[in-house]
Structure 1
């Protein structure tokens, strides 16, 4: 400690530095702060990542205690420090940019230093008195960044996905609620932006709910099991150097107990250390959901277009004035914001793909980008779903009479007459109605092609929006 007690002196491979004594991080974190000022997104922005890292460190300490490599006094101090991080304290002590060189070493050492210094104070020592408990020798015992860091990423992503499930389910529930509300509203279905055949507005919203439910089911089925296999115990490249034979099993068992997640040792630790395929899988699932949500947002913008000269089948609740020059204009800002959020998630998937491909030999040095983009995508998707549900889907309403009017004056209902009048006759009727701006119904009645009773039955909502029952 220097004379002013404002800084402490720490040393590493490159020399010595003064570290602000208010902070629990040390010299390696300080160097990372000076080197990486890239994205403005810090480790502290992702609390699940910090929590998972603390759980990994505690699990490793537990295994080392059982193997008698770590004494009880040091273990108790490390356990206390890790629990502090698990409980959400000291987030500000993780100020490093998520984008960093070194395959995550800066993040791992940030965790080691913070845990060590919290533990030292708990033991009655000063920060930086590493002769009593060392960031590398004790907190990082039997570990490498190359197994601790990806294990923490996987566990943190599982926690983040848990938090995504609630807004995911609630959005689907809201869409299903609107499906029931709009069940009896007839409208025109459209293909290639042209009139197709009738459907109900309820069927349209049910389709939205179903397509998102499929993604939710896929994430729940694939991700927890896949991400439960970790390379903890593989250390530098997966060979387990500097560990004992039972260590990997003991550490993962401890991590399961601490995290309340099913964590297992990967079958091939060398493969698990170098391969990023599981992260690509998760990213692709998030991209798939984002693609679907953006399409739904597009549909809502089209269906609510107008208010006088667009499709106008839906009303989106006004959220803010839409123009600085056009009085009375209101824009569909919530679906637009959903589009933009989805574009970011889709772009993040490309970054994850490039980073996964860029691995070389026994390690992928681009893993910090993978972690950053996956945590960001999950958080963005969660926030976007909450916004979309509460500010758009919950409050959307239908212009039922306008929907019915469009159906009755559409050329598309002629398709329902095909089984009765044949393709050639219905084609002629459709052309005549379009050229002369006539109603299909009026032409059929004027030419006595069907009785009014049969025509009314054929174009009833029940017969036009689902298959007929066999006789």
Structure 2
């Protein structure tokens, strides 16, 4: 069963049970591109925006209370994730998001009319443009909607990053006394502890947590109410000032009206800034995952097995969670490049590639949310292989670096050459035999982890050794 809808281009048949209309159907046919759906987070946030606009128009007597209530009820149903099968437009659409805006308008109008006892497709008494889209443009509602969706996701991401940081700090304490070799350039460097290594991870994630929490400030300024190019043309002044207040109440987000909406409409540098911070977080996730992967390769730690690693090699276990995290980080970093290019290629008074920006931005936030939870749970199960850490520690001549403040570089180098010539394997035992057991104090975790050395303690140790 079909119904016919008509616009300036002609007639289109629409399945009679569907809530979308002719504009959506044309967009669906025009953009058979990617198969990517417009993110559900964007749809739900758009319904919040439409609800705020209808409420504002009712308060100002531009909409009857009856019409506004029907529109708001339809919006609430969309927020509750009804009618998902009616949002059919490809995410990679032309028109700066107009197709998504019209998809929302049509679904709301048809459902609102149905609530009032009228059939779908007639757009009476409620029209998608005359009523649902009243005093709006795609160019103010779409970017504002994206920022609202992003703010909700950023709040969730901040929370899971805090949990991730907490797990790393617990590992820092758990591994505090385990001696190991630090590495630079993939070579043995100087001694420290496994706990200190995890403390570096925790501190990096702490910085990410702070940056992501603060970056919400960068996208809380919206141009909603400013219509097509930011001047507010066709919208009453009182509406422009009130709609943001009502939207703030509905979302409970700290959003504000743009002082220069023409600039906010024409530029999206604030989104680039926020996604750049996500890129920084991705860089840290990649490095932490890779470092842990290498530590597992060196057998300094043990990862909890996640799944069988091979279809041909029995018993092989791969670090799949870490590899997944690294691939996710690469994807988010590529999304940053996409968004940066889309923003820089915008022209005059519009950011015309907003649909791809929205898809990539929301995708990045969701990817980081999911992988952070995965990675946190995986790292929580890491066990230290203290025996292997000690073996590397005791056999590495790099631990001789601790002697530099005592005897200097040249004398230490002579000891290194002696150890190499004699093929001595247990360096720690060699030092104890050469200098006495007191020398091993240099390898106490608290001394290795302290910031620099205490010259008085070192002088006392030097005297004891010489004695």
TM-score, L = length of structure 1 = 0.93
Does the alignment pair 1:251 with 2:239?
no
Please list the CA deviations of residues 267-323 of structure 1 after superposition, one character each: whole Å capped at 9, or x if unmatched: 101000010111101111111111100101110111011xxxxx2101111122222
RMSD: 1.5
Does the alignment pair 1:464 with 2:464?
no
Q: 2:393 aligns with which of 407, 418, 422?
A: 407
Does the alignment pair 1:227 with 2:227?
no
Please list the CA deviations of residues 215-243 of structure 1 after superposition, one character each: whole Å capped at 9, or x if unmatched: 111111121x2222100111010111101
Equivalent residue number for residue 419 of structure 1: 405
Paired with 2:350 and 2:61, the residues of 1 have a C-alpha distance of 30
Could you say what secondary structure the match of 1:246 adopts? Answer: helix
Could you say what secondary structure the match of 1:50 adopts? Answer: helix
1:429–1:443 Cα contact (<8 Å) kept: no
Paired with 1:148 and 1:211, the residues of 2 have a C-alpha distance of 36
1:234–1:240 Cα contact (<8 Å) kept: yes
Paired with 1:152 and 1:104, the residues of 2 have a C-alpha distance of 11
Does the alignment pair 1:240 with 2:224?
no
Q: C-alpha displacement at 1:443, in angstroms?
A: 5.0
Q: 1:441 to 1:386 in 2, by over 3 A?
A: closer
Please list the CA deviations of residues 332-369 of structure 1 after superposition, one character each: whole Å capped at 9, or x if unmatched: 11111111111100111100011011100000111111
Could you say what secondary structure the match of 1:8 adopts? Answer: strand
Equivalent residue number for residue 54 of structure 2: 61
2:2–2:15 Cα contact (<8 Å) kept: yes
Paired with 1:437 and 1:14, the residues of 2 have a C-alpha distance of 87
Equivalent residue number for residue 308 of structure 1: none
Q: C-alpha displacement at 1:197, in angstroms?
A: 1.1
Does the alignment pair 1:304 with 2:296?
yes
2:218–2:274 Cα contact (<8 Å) kept: no
Equivalent residue number for residue 209 of structure 1: 202
Map 1:144-163 → 2, pairs under 5 A: 144-163=137-156
Q: C-alpha displacement at 1:432, in angstroms?
A: 3.1
Does the alignment pair 1:199 with 2:195?
no
Paired with 1:41 and 1:319, the residues of 2 have a C-alpha distance of 30
Equivalent residue number for residue 453 of structure 1: 437
| Contiguous gaps of at least 5 residues in structure 2 | 457-467
How many pairs are equivalent?
454
Equivalent residue number for residue 79 of structure 2: 86
Does the alignment pair 1:387 with 2:379?
no
Q: 2:34 aligns with which of 21, 30, 39?
A: 39
Paired with 1:465 and 1:427, the residues of 2 have a C-alpha distance of 23
Paired with 1:464 and 1:168, the residues of 2 have a C-alpha distance of 29
Paired with 1:131 and 1:444, the residues of 2 have a C-alpha distance of 91
Q: C-alpha displacement at 1:457, in angstroms?
A: 1.9
Q: 1:435 to 1:382 in 2, by over 3 A?
A: farther
| Contiguous gaps of at least 5 residues in structure 1 | 1-5, 306-310
Q: 2:338 aligns with which of 335, 351, 359?
A: 351
Higher mean C-alpha displacement, 134-143 vs 400-409 = 400-409
Could you say what secondary structure the match of 2:192 adopts? Answer: strand
Q: C-alpha displacement at 1:470, in angstroms?
A: 5.6
Equivalent residue number for residue 30 of structure 1: 25
Could you say what secondary structure the match of 1:75 adopts? Answer: helix
